[in-house]
Amino acid sequence: MYLKDFNYLRPKSLTEACNMLQQHNDCALMAGGTDLLVEMKSGLRYHENIISLAGIKELSEIEESNDYITIGAATTHNVIVNSSLLKQHYPALPEASSNVGTAQVRNIATIGGNICTAASCCDTAPVLLASDCTLELVDINGSREVSVNDFFIFHRKTTMKKGEILTKIKVPKLKPGTGISIQKFGLRNAVTISVASAVALITINNGICVDAKIVIGAVAPTPFVSEAASKILIGEKVQYLINNYEVVDKAGDLAVADSNPLSDIRGSADYRKRLVKVLVKRSIKNAAIRATN
């Protein structure tokens, strides 16, 4: 199917983009276009005006401050993959971005587009949920910050309001003694959408797990933190987590109980639940090993 004609608007600043969003009724923002244009081409949506974010420099910068790495929303996955700041302070994000599509897709697709599409199977949301990061949203009236935990409300639905632009993702640097592991299962080794995924973040102190976050993707309308699976790990000896003691099995079961997967072309709900247990257990073990190194 061919794309219908649309007006292509190229603001040079955030203020100009906000004004355009206000002026045009039927419009959409476009970063890389790898979700938007596919949806428009397949007739799922149409907009008379497309506002490109590509010319707004501040949206593609990665900056370091004392406790955070701040990523512009229009930063491409390949820039994230190669960012030495992120590799040093939150390596799970470059790893998650490296799992997105092909090199060609990663060259143009952005982290902001990934989370604003808010597909339950998207690759970067689970590691962002594990990080407790903050998102900055801007509109003509100013800016506001929202925790990533309050951003996703359903498959392809977020708390972003009409007229808002996601500008920054503020990721806390990993604390010392913290390990994080991503487990993505797709139907092939590359260019694959998650059938299920799990992220574990484990912080240890004196050989004891003092903080844990288990996030699961593609098995509910949004990726989510399994509070029950996370809590049960706190206070456990790291060696128990590495050596797969009963508590790890229990965390897997709790994560399964929290999940609510669909059956679709990639796998049945039952298959996805089985995957959740395996992926959660693997992620806990790997994160615990990393936390000790």
Ligand X SMILES: Cc1cc2nc3c(=O)[nH]c(=O)nc-3n(C[C@H](O)[C@H](O)[C@H](O)COP(=O)(O)OP(=O)(O)OC[C@H]3O[C@@H](n4cnc5c(N)ncnc54)[C@H](O)[C@@H]3O)c2cc1C
Using the rule CB under 6 A, which residue among 34, 70, 203, 259 binds ligand X?
34
Q: Is 110 in the site for ligand X (CB under 6 A)?
A: yes
Main-chain dihedrals φ then ψ at residue 101, nearest 5 degrees: 45, -140
Task: Return the range that interacts with ligand X (CB under 6 A); candidates 31-39, 173-181, 235-243, 277-285.
Answer: 31-39
Site for ligand X in 62-101 (CB under 6 A): 73-74, 99-101
- Residues 243, 106: Cα–Cα separation, whole Å: 36
Min separation Cβ 128 and ligand X, Å: 12
Q: Which residue, 114 or 226, is less far from ligand X as judged by CB?
A: 114
Using the rule CB under 6 A, which residue among 18, 79, 80, 109 binds ligand X?
109
> Other CB atoms closer than 10 Å to residue 178's CB: what's the count?
18
Min separation Cβ 107 and ligand X, Å: 10
Min separation Cβ 90 and ligand X, Å: 17
- Residues 124, 115: Cα–Cα separation, whole Å: 7
Q: Which of 252, 179, 171 is nearest to 219 (CA)?
A: 252
Site for ligand X in 163-222 (CB under 6 A): 165-166, 193
> Other CB atoms closer than 10 Å to residue 71's CB: what's the count?
28
Beta bridge partners of 284: none
DSSP single-letter state for residue 118: T
- Identify the burial level of 230 via C-beta atoms within 10 angstroms of its C-beta, where 0-12 means exposed, 13-18 middle and 19 or more buried: buried
DSSP single-letter state for residue 264: B
Site for ligand X in 115-174 (CB under 6 A): 116-117, 122-123, 165-166
Q: Is 53 in the site for ligand X (CB under 6 A)?
A: yes
Min separation Cβ 243 and ligand X, Å: 32
Residue type, 282: R
User: Contact residues for ligand X (CB under 6 A)?
Assistant: 28-36, 38, 53, 73-74, 99-101, 105, 109-110, 112-114, 116-117, 122-123, 165-166, 193
